[in-house]
């Protein structure tokens, strides 16, 4: 009895150790659906564009005054718009500080049918200071300059709070979006043949092999084949399902392990830094516009002289916190991280948005 009871702590410790190892491996690797990692043949989004007007601005629109602005695109657009409603207004009588000419863009799924709604992006074409508080006038959307409209957009603009225009500042909130402001009016052409390939959103040979293995494990050998790191071909006939669409839908639900991505994304407008995969930064020194970043120096923190010091093998979070504490702008943060990557101190993909 004593021998048995004495062996339990050892067994318990072994079980706990195995559980911790399993938990650590699971926490370091997540699962994702095949449908989240790939796109099918023919799944090319429809890119729509249009030219329109944002109205209802509080004096922050295009600066077109009287006869000096009578030939500007904004004035001509408003004149043509009013003319469609049977209203004639002399160009020199228009005061357009409350109107802005804009480009409207959107990316729509090819499977979104008539009546489906989507978000649209709106960007000023002229010298409007802010689109905040404006409303997009009904704008036809086309797939190309000479193509007929396939949709339309209108609605109140949503402008990020950080982009709001403040008098006396150099900031310009000249972009915004209209959530669900677009409507599909013409369906996309139907695909001629069912999809027989899956294309990885981020080509990766390891991930492509995992997808092939998952498909063959679920539907049998020969149902999937590795073409290259960015594509997997499918044999619909070997799936034993009654339709290609059911086969593709079933593949979309399969789950494969995904390793954490060593990737850093920096917002070029507000300096937001997002890092994945537990990225660390090696010892380095960067001096940029009055800010000196020292990785591997003594101490940690930022001082009034612009010196930012973090310990060796610091995380991206440590560096970002130090730079923000030193008053670095978004452009400064982007430049410093680009310098770290160029010096070989940053072993991760850097994406600036």
Q: 265 phi and psi, to 5 degrees?
A: -115, 125
> What range does the domain containing 232 cover?
193-258
- Boundary (domain end) residue, out of 207, 228, 258: 258
Give the Cα separation of 253 and 341 in Å (integer). 37
Q: What pLDDT is recorded for position 14?
A: 39
Q: Is residue 10 part of a domain?
A: no
For residues 286 and 320, membership in a common domain is answered with yes
Cβ-count burial 20-47 (b if 16+ within 10 Å, e if not): eeeeeeeeeeeeeebeebbebbbeeebe
Q: Is residue 204 part of a domain?
A: yes
Reported residue count of the chain is 353
Q: Is residue 95 part of a domain?
A: yes
Give the Cα separation of 348 and 282 in Å (integer). 12
Beta strands in 267-337 (DSSP E): 273-276, 280-281, 284-288, 291-295, 301-302, 307-310, 314-315
Is the Cβ–Cβ distance between 145 and 111 less than 8 Å?
A: no
Average pLDDT, whole number, for the chain?
82
Mean pLDDT of all residues in 9-18? 40
Q: Which of 36-40, 101-105, 223-227, 347-351 has the lowest mean pLDDT?
A: 347-351
For residues 56 and 175, membership in a common domain is answered with yes
pLDDT digits (tens, 9 = 90+) for 233-281: 998 887 777 788 889 899 999 999 988 778 899 988 888 998 876 788 9
For residues 144 and 200, membership in a common domain is answered with no
Output the furthest CA–CA distance in the chain (Å, rounded): 105
Q: Is residue 13 part of a domain?
A: no
For residues 205 and 242, membership in a common domain is answered with yes
Give the Cα separation of 2 and 208 in Å (integer). 54
For residues 310 and 235, membership in a common domain is answered with no
pLDDT digits (tens, 9 = 90+) for 50-62: 998 999 998 888 8
pLDDT of 10 over the 60 cut: no
Q: Is residue 33 part of a domain?
A: no
For residues 277 and 348, membership in a common domain is answered with yes
Tell me, yes or no, if the pTM score tops 0.85: no
For residues 242 and 276, membership in a common domain is answered with no
- Boundary (domain end) residue, out of 148, 166, 184: 184
pLDDT of 86 over the 80 cut: no
Higher pLDDT, 254 or 79: 254
For residues 236 and 268, membership in a common domain is answered with no
Higher pLDDT, 28 or 253: 253
For residues 212 and 141, membership in a common domain is answered with no
Q: What pLDDT is recorded for position 29?
A: 58
Give the Cα separation of 306 and 302 in Å (integer). 7
Name 314's Cβ contacts closer than 8 Å, sequence gap at least 6.
280, 281, 295
Closest-CA residue to 198 (of 234, 228, 229) = 234
Structural domains of the chain, count: 3
Q: Is residue 52 part of a domain?
A: yes
pLDDT of 65 over the 60 cut: no
pLDDT of 11 over the 80 cut: no
Report the percentage of the chain scoring pLDDT > 70.
81
For residues 234 and 150, membership in a common domain is answered with no
Mean pLDDT of all residues in 8-15? 41
Task: Determine how many CB atoms are found less than 10 A away from the CB of residue 54.
Answer: 27
- Boundary (domain end) residue, out of 258, 278, 294: 258
For residues 55 and 119, membership in a common domain is answered with yes
Q: Is residue 21 part of a domain?
A: no
Q: Categorize the per-residue pLDDT at 22 as very low, low, confident or very high, splitting at 50, 70 and 90.
A: very low
Is the Cβ–Cβ distance between 146 and 75 less than 8 Å?
A: no
Q: Is residue 347 part of a domain?
A: yes
For residues 286 and 236, membership in a common domain is answered with no
pLDDT of 103 over the 60 cut: yes
Q: 231 phi and psi, to 5 degrees?
A: -150, 145
């Amino acid at each position: 009895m004593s021998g048995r009871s004495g062996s339990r702590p050892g067994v318990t410790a072994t079980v706990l150790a195995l559980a911790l190892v399993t938990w650590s491996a699971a926490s370091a690797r997540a699962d994702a659906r095949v449908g989240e990692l790939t796109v099918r043949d023919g799944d090319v989004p429809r890119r729509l564009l249009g030219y329109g007007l944002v109205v209802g601005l509080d004096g922050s629109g295009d600066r077109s005054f009287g006869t000096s602005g009578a030939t500007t695109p904004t004035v001509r657009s408003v004149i043509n718009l009013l003319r469609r409603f049977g209203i004639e207004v002399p160009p020199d009588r228009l005061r357009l500080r409350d109107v802005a000419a804009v480009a409207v863009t959107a990316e729509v799924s090819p499977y979104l049918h008539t009546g489906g709604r989507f978000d649209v992006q709106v960007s000023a074409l002229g010298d409007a200071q802010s689109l905040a508080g404006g409303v997009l006038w009904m704008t036809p959307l086309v797939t190309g300059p000479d193509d007929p409209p396939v949709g339309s957009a209108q609605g109140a603009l949503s402008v990020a709070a950080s982009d709001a225009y403040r008098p006396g500042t150099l900031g310009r909130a000249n972009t915004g979006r209209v959530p669900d402001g677009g409507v599909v009016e013409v369906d996309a052409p139907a695909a001629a043949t069912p999809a027989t390939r899956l294309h990885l959103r981020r080509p990766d040979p390891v991930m492509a092999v995992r997808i092939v293995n998952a498909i063959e494990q679920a539907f049998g050998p020969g149902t999937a084949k590795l073409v290259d790191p960015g594509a997997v071909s499918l044999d619909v006939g070997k799936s034993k399902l009654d339709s290609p669409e059911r086969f593709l839908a079933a593949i979309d639900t399969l789950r494969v392990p995904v390793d954490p991505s060593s990737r850093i994304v920096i917002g070029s407008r507000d300096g937001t830094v997002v890092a994945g995969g537990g990225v660390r930064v090696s010892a380095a020194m960067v001096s940029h516009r009055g800010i000196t970043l020292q990785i591997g120096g003594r101490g940690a923190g930022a001082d009034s002289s612009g010196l930012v010091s973090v310990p060796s093998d610091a995380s991206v979070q440590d560096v970002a916190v130090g730079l923000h504490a030193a008053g670095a702008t978004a452009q400064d943060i982007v430049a410093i991280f680009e310098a770290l990557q160029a010096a070989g101190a940053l072993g991760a993909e850097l994406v600036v948005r």
